[in-house]
Amino acid sequence: MKKIIAIMFFITALICISENKGYAQELQDNSTQNINSMDNATSAESNVNIENHKSDVVVKKKPDFNKKKISLDRIEDKKWSLRLGYAFFFPESEYTSILNHKLKIGGAYDVNKYFQVQGFLQYADGSKSYNISGVDTTFTGTVYNLGLLAIGLYPFELSAGEIAPFGSLGGVYTFGNIRAKSSIIEQKQNISGGGILAQAGMQYNINVFSIRVYGEYLYDLTPIKVDYIKSFSGFSVGAEFGVKF
């Protein structure tokens, strides 16, 4: 009887040990599975973070210097221009033909492509003798016109450049001196006065350059006290060259 009880106790012990081993193996498997799940979750979270970081990164592209066009490619951005000109004067008073040749320098500002404001200084001088009633009389003079013009243009595009008819109106300040000398008289006057100037003509533009041809009439109100000279009024034809900057 004691042997049977001992054998049964031994078998029961073996069964308990076996079950404990299985339970331990099961715990180990569950632990391994949990660790793998955590690793997978961590890896997935890391991938998500990496993707989010990529989406937050702003890719800096190299600057395209070809888009930054300057100089001749941006003519419309250039508003100021320097202008040089020449005009031939046909005076109403015969004896002011000493002022036939007028040189001009000025500057202009383009408000837009249809409207321009121009300021200028015009210079003329000369000396010439006339026989007046049998007496040789020499007229000498130096005259300046300081003017301001408002100019309206209407440009038309061409295959190369553009052409623009224009008209202008403005005022001038006239100053300088004039002298008349003969065997019987000698007169000299420092002049100062003003007048109204009107122009009409055509302008051709290409790149930063422009050429203008025009006719103008000056109605001058400067008081003159020298004999035989009535006024500095008259008609002129001229040309101007301009460059924008």
What is the number of residues in the chain? Answer: 245
Q: Kindly give, in sequence order, each residue whose CB lies less than 8 Å from that of residue 130, ignoring residues fewer than 6 positions away.
A: 94, 95, 136, 137, 138, 139
- Domain ranges, ordered by start, for the chain: 1-60, 74-244
pLDDT computed for residue 2 by the predictor: 47
Q: What share of the chain is helix, strand, coil (3-state, %, to 5)?
A: 30, 50, 20
Residue 59 pLDDT > 70, yes or no? no
- Fold entry, domain 74-244: Porin (2.40.160)
CB 188 within 8 A of CB 176: no
Residue 7 pLDDT > 70, yes or no? no
Residue showing tokens 């006339």: 130
pLDDT computed for residue 130 by the predictor: 93
Query: What confidence tens digit (pLDDT) does each residue in 198-209 have?
Result: 999 999 999 999
Quick one: tokens of 208? Answer: 């930063």
pLDDT band at 64 (very low <50, low <70, confident <90, very high): low
pLDDT computed for residue 57 by the predictor: 47
Amino acid letter, 22: G
Q: What is the DSSP string of 23-61?
A: HHHHHHHHHHHHHHHHHHHHHHHHHHHHHHHHHHPPPPP
Query: What confidence tens digit (pLDDT) does each residue in 127-153 have?
Result: 999 999 899 999 999 999 999 999 999
Residue 35 pLDDT > 60, yes or no? no
